[in-house]
Chains A and B, each alone.
Chain A
């Protein structure tokens, strides 16, 4: 029996395992390893702090998300040994593989910024990137009497880079609805040199921030938190006082990636940009947030990558070279508050452009502009996630970026991504 082993069964791992089950015969075993009993729909976390309480619809027992021919080991990986094609688990168990897919996502590293954990213990520092964090923030916002709310991205890369902006737009709507917007100062502190990494999109975001009276602190590289005095301090000694700090902490890859000597400086896996093969490792592939790729860390990206990986695992199993198919394609709905959202669609080389999606002229979604339809699309995405994306059913959106429907007069000759520090 041959073995395809998948480490981590979140968005990416689940899609790959289910897709491969349909493509591989009975002589292949497919096993996923994941310590968490429940699968969490992470995009739903954004809405919890503002009073949503649909946790039940955001969680599913892991077994139900995996097709019946996929085995699941409820355990954590502690090491990968590519030389002996083996994987070690917490309980000491060893698994061997013919091909390995790493899909262990990203970890939130509050511990990497001095003072963050202290502030969390005191109850003034929160997050919405974890379920417990988003739930605690819901309680904190419900009781917030006013003051300065700072949202801070500690450093890039983070999952869903638009989520901090969405959080601010929704916070503006939330406090307006409660009739206390004038009592709340909203501040966005980012290490980037603009509100977003891509120029045209950054301009739109900055316009929205200004319109909603949200202050922007650029090139703010957070170095520490003085929890006692409620101060966020940058490496170059700028200080931001807060009453409530919503932190998006440093992200890193799984500890086993680091401990196996496979990761970069943040334990993300150096992976080939187009084939998704781990650099220098013939039988290792990776997708999703676990990679060091310059693509977005987003569920939509993991989905497009899963499609490419399906092709390339079959190629590799047949003894052929993997195909350079992945183009960095990402698309995401950006909630802008008051029941509206924006949609952006881009890849490694093409910036988000205005237009219609996925059908030119018709949409129904509008690119880079706000609409109610986009908001409904964002909400419908949860259904699509459980019923279309995770099971690996074909959906009518291509893995590669399409230029149809995009207004090319806005395209810049070279899309340069910049970073603030």
Chain B
């Protein structure tokens, strides 16, 4: 018997839905997380997610939305279109990296 889509096993997530261990992330997982919030990932989404993962690997912290807008090649307006409401948080969630922290 062939099931519709091979179910992606979901790794442990925190209360806000962020992966506890970013090493457990896979592209298929990003697709599954996107489906959960009713999104379909386009190449533009992937450009952002790839930037977020690379930046996190380099810096050790999740980039804030301004950093993403300045360095990913996708500007702020487009980010809000692609990742409605909170692009910083949503992109980090789908990229499997921690929730970006802000100052206080």
Contact = CB atoms under 8 A, between A and B. Distances in A.
Nearest to A294: B103
Contacts of B88: 419, 421
B86 A421 contact: yes
B100 A419 contact: yes
A39 B47 CA distance: 46
Interface in B68-104: 70-71, 76-77, 79-81, 84-89, 99-104
Given A236-B85, A421-B88, A265 B66 contact: yes
Contacts of B89: 418-421
- The bracket for how many chain A residues form the interface is 20 to 34
Interface residues of B, number: 24
A417 B64 CA distance: 13
B65 interface: yes
B35 interface: no
A295 interface: yes
Contacts, number: 73
A196 B102 CA distance: 11
Interface stretch (A54-62, A155-163, A366-374): A155-163
What secondary structure prevails in chain A residues at the interface with B?
Answer: loop
Given A419-B64, A421-B89, A236 B70 contact: no
B104 A161 contact: yes
Given A419-B89, A421-B65, A421-B89, A236 B104 contact: no
Nearest to B79: A235
A421 B102 CA distance: 10
A420 B81 CA distance: 16
A255 B70 CA distance: 17
B103 A293 contact: yes
A264 B99 CA distance: 19
Contacts of B64: 265, 419
B13 interface: no
B83 to A, nearest CB: 9
Contacts of A161: 103-104
Given A264-B67, A265-B71, A236 B103 contact: no
A419 B76 contact: no
B102 A417 contact: yes
Interface in A252-281: 264-266
A21 interface: no
Contacts of B79: 235
Interface in B12-56: 16
A97 to B, nearest CB: 28
- Name the residue in A266, A418, A421 with the highest tally of chain B Cβ atoms < 10 Å from its Cβ: A421
A225 to B, nearest CB: 15
A266 B87 CA distance: 18
Contacts of B85: 219, 236, 421
B66 A297 contact: no
B99 A295 contact: no
Contact of B70 (A155, A265, A293, A295): A265
A193 B85 CA distance: 10
Contacts of B103: 156-157, 161, 293-297, 417
Ordered nearest first, which 5 A-B pairs have the shortest CB separation? Answer: A419-B102, A157-B103, A235-B80, A197-B104, A236-B80
